[in-house]
Structure 1
Amino acid sequence: MQRFQLIRNEDVSGRSGTGIVAEGVIFSDGSAVLRWNVAPCSMGFYHSIDDLIFLHGHEGRTTVQVIDQPIPAEFASV
């Protein structure tokens, strides 16, 4: 698992603001969960981080900053 932050540089919708607007986790199978930091603090589940970026990336105005390094393959199956 890897934690991440969704960082919005420009708020085109006028709802989420800018800066760190959400946080989440990318699971080892590539799926992801996202929790918004702004009210109402809803959550979303995605088949992949690419799907999440497609929906919430606002054409490059929002980026994903991964916090954790991936688990090395030799430890991932333990």
Structure 2
Amino acid sequence: MRPDRMKPHPHAVERALEITGSAPGSSVLIGDAVSDIEIAKATGLRSIGYAKTRQRGVELREADADAVVDGIGRLIIGDHLA
């Protein structure tokens, strides 16, 4: 992997969208780091931050995640169970 394309560069997400034929507007990125939220914003995806700790929740909210959860066992998005 090229170091210049590692997080927070959006290359991997852009490539995944291309391979799957998914549109950014109908996709969501779930991540546990501020860089994940930055990538989601850069690629036009909605974002869900997974806060492993209270401090991480604060950081993800400050990064403007669309939603922040503290558990990911059962996540329902629209009519889909993820």
TM category, shorter: under 0.3
Q: Where is the helix percentage greater, Structure 1 or Structure 2? A: 2
State the structure with bigger RCO (CA 8 A, min sep 6), 1 or 2.
1
More strand by share: 1
